[in-house]
Amino acid sequence: MADKIIRIGTRDSELALWQAHTVQQQLHDLGYKTEIVAVKSQGDILLDKPLYELGITGIFTKTLDIAMLNGQVDIAVHSMKDVPTALPIGIVQAAVLERADVVDILAHKGGLTFLEQDAIIATGSLRRQAQWLNKYPNHTVVDLRGNVNTRLQKLTDNEWNGAVFAAAGLERLGFISDKMIKSPTFEGIGEALDWMIPAPAQGAMVVLAMADDAFILDALSQLNHIETEICTYIERQFLRTLEGGCTAPIGAIATYNETAETFDFTGVLLSIDGQQKLEIHKTVDVSQWKKLGYELAQELLAQGGTALMAEIKKSLQK
């Protein structure tokens, strides 16, 4: 088995390939042989509709799931926030890498006077749309799809005031430094949106593998970052309990306080138009993390979340 080549499945976008090469390097450092197998997902091909209209769970992950189940690749590397909370039978979460920056970034061409005026902001995320409209109800939010470079190009080409990106993606591609964004398709400013609650597992990379492949599972276990694994578990448990899927306006962030030995959690659920917002905060002892996401989601559901989730699902089915 020492000569076994680990086939790393990935989407073929620049960011996805960066993530795959990062996993490849870490495996090489441990002495494993690898090769990268890039495939195009439906989420990368179908760019003319908002994600929630496509009605496919795990649109960015399904193609790689099939490739793994068919034996074409051994592992799949994903942005963890894109991965459905329920994995296909036979596939397991094998490693969560140390998390990058979790914040969202507003990319704009300079000057923020538009924040107090009528403005147009672009994002393909219902979570970002809802939180933006909650804070700036007079603004218009338009859909924005494609890889990072494509989205930045659209921001250059359109008369939009700004667009929202994950800081982790911009940083991994080397597009942002000291609030300055510079890519092949855009030059401008990046403002950290500290008030915006990130997507569950934002900034984290996950590696999936087949449940019965002991060699692969042992190799990947050496890449796992336990603190990130626990924090993302809490956030995804919150998401799963709310039954949100990847596209609902749900934000969640858990952080570990090493000094106090506690976990801090903030979760949010909004209506799609941002007019309704339910938020919950809690700090618990480190020993209480296993059911934290579930319990806080249940609290939120009892405080009006059940009715709000029903409204969201109804509107997404129209």
In the sheet that 5-11 helps form, which strands lie side by side, from edge to edge? 33-39, 5-11, 75-79, 205-210, 91-96
Active-site residues, by number, are 82
In sequence order, what E strands does the chain have?
A: 5-11, 33-39, 75-79, 91-96, 104-108, 120-122, 140-142, 162-166, 176-177, 180-182, 187-193, 205-210, 250-257, 262-270, 277-285
What's the angle, vertex CA 119, arms to CA 308 and CA 104, rounded to 5?
60
Q: From CA 270, how far away is CA 308, in angstroms rounded?
A: 8
Residue 190 is which amino acid? G
Round to whole Å and give the CA distance between 183 and 282: 39
Pairwise CA distance, residues 278 & 269, whole Å: 5
Structure-token pair, residue 97: 């890498």
